[in-house]
């Protein structure tokens, strides 16, 4: 499931016009961040999400991207949950 989820997330974040529901997708992804980070380290987050989080503005998608990046940073960055 994850490769497909990641591809959809990446495509949506890279789109010049952000699709409806992107904030919801980012929020759902954040809900799974601790498990994903525990298994894969922080590198599982597509670069496009980090780029969206770094954008100026306060759209729902940007706010959720920032929250996801923050959640991943707070859960550690190495597989197995070690910091």
List, for residues 10-32, the tens digit of each pLDDT value: 999 999 999 999 999 999 999 99
Tokens encoding 19: 């699709």
pTM of the full structure: 0.84
Q: What is the mean pLDDT of the chain?
A: 88
Q: What average pLDDT score do residues 28-42 get?
A: 91
* CA–CA distance, 13 with 49 (Å, rounded to integer): 6
Residue with tokens 């904030």: 23
pLDDT confidence of residue 75: 54
pLDDT for residue 37 is more than 60: yes
Rounded to 5 degrees, what are φ and ψ at 17?
Answer: -110, 110
């Amino acid at each position: 499931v994850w490769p497909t989820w990641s591809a959809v997330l990446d495509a949506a974040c890279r789109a010049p016009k952000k699709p409806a529901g992107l904030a919801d997708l980012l929020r759902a992804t954040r809900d799974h961040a601790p498990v994903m980070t525990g298994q894969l380290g922080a590198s599982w987050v597509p670069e496009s999400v980090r780029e969206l989080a770094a954008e100026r503005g306060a759209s729902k998608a940007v706010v959720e991207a920032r929250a996801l990046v923050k959640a991943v940073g707070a859960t550690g960055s190495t597989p197995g949950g070690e910091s």
